[in-house]
Amino acid sequence: AQRVTQPEKLLSVFKGAPVELKCNYSYSGSPELFWYVQYSRQRLQLLLRHISRESIKGFTADLNKGETSFHLKKPFAQEEDSAMYYCALSPTGFQKLVFGTGTRLLVSP
Amino acid sequence: DAGVTQSPTHLIKTRGQQVTLRCSPISGHKSVSWYQQVLGQGPQFIFQYYEKEERGRGNFPDRFSARQFPNYSSELNVNALLLGDSALYLCASSWGGSGANVLTFGAGSRLTVL
């Protein structure tokens, strides 16, 4: 079965604090993993993908195959980071995305 | 480029009716996917079409159908609507049909079934 679990519905932090949004996945093969973000009144958009191994807006995510995790991290949260974050996997050879239920990040001043 | 455009943006139907949702991909994109997002949940895959052929289907009943036209636009049809079909329906497009291609999402069509 293909499943993505985001255990936190809401994560509330203060500006400048570190952030870690958790994502665990279940898939027998080697999936592609993504983080999508939806800012208020905006469309769902790609934040980063594991094969790119890049940092976007200060966010990074490392794939841990042993723990089947793909946690999203940022060392110093900004108020503009407040948004809904979705972790997703794409099974090998397919374009479909399997999304988690999302985590709302709220960064307070 | 206007991005992925969907219509209508909002619509209200009653149980048993049929609905057609439309999607225009980004110019040059040949793949279109449809997702259903129920309130409080992540998007759930319904269909993928690439070069006018169905490439994938999610776990949805046969009441859901879709097609892609020669200009790569797409329609999603839902027959015999149920209250549980109330959701935001998202369309996404990409240049190619493989998992390596990044999806660009539209703003969605919000369907309310009464």
CA distance, residue A22 to nearest chain B CA (Å): 15
- Per residue in A66-93, pLDDT (tens digit) is 999 999 999 999 999 999 999 999 987 7
- Interatomic CA distance for residues B56 and A73, integer angstroms: 32
Mean pLDDT of A80-108: 93
pLDDT at A96 over 80: yes
Q: Which residue of B has its CA nearest to A95?
A: B99
**Residue of B26, B34, B103 to mutate, testing the A interface (most A Cβ within 10 Å of its Cβ):** B103
Say if residue A75 is preceded by a cis peptide, omega within 30 of 0. Answer: no
> pLDDT-based confidence at A5, cuts 50/70/90?
very high
- Interatomic CA distance for residues A33 and B26, integer angstroms: 23
Mean per-residue pLDDT of chain B:
94
pLDDT at B2 over 90: no
Instruction: Return residues 40-99 of A near B (CB < 8 Å).
Output: 43-46, 49, 51, 86, 88, 90-99
Is the Cβ pair A97, B102 closer than 8 Å?
Answer: no
- Interatomic CA distance for residues A37 and A29, integer angstroms: 25
pLDDT at B100 over 70: no
**Element housing A99 (H / E):** strand A98-99
Considering only the beta carbons, identify the residue of A46, A93, A102 that sits closest to B42: A102
pLDDT at B1 over 70: no
Mean per-residue pLDDT of chain A:
93
Given its phi and psi angles, is residue B6 left (phi above 0), alpha (psi -120 to 50 degrees) or beta?
A: beta
- Per residue in B44-88, pLDDT (tens digit) is 999 999 999 999 999 999 999 999 999 999 999 999 999 999 999
pLDDT number for residue A65: 87
- Interatomic CA distance for residues B23 and B49, integer angstroms: 12
> pLDDT-based confidence at A31, cuts 50/70/90?
confident
> pLDDT-based confidence at B99, cuts 50/70/90?
low
- Interatomic CA distance for residues A52 and A94, integer angstroms: 18
Considering only the beta carbons, identify the residue of A32, A92, A101 that sits closest to B41: A101
Which of the pair, B109 or B95, is modelled with greater confidence? B109
For every residue of B49-114, DSSP letters joined together read: EETTEEEEE-S--TTEEEEE-TTS-EEEEE-S--GGG-EEEEEEEESSSSTTSPPEE---EEEEE-
- Interatomic CA distance for residues A72 and A83, integer angstroms: 13
Considering only the beta carbons, identify the residue of B3, B97, B107 that sits closest to A95: B97
- Interatomic CA distance for residues B110 and B12, integer angstroms: 8
- Per residue in A39-60, pLDDT (tens digit) is 999 999 999 998 877 888 999 9
Residues of B with CB below 8 A from A100's CB?
42
Is the Cβ pair B45, A98 closer than 8 Å?
Answer: yes
Partner residues linked to B113 by β-bridges: B13
Burial class (CB in 10 A: 0-12, 13-18, 19+), B94: buried
pLDDT number for residue A68: 93
pLDDT number for residue B59: 94
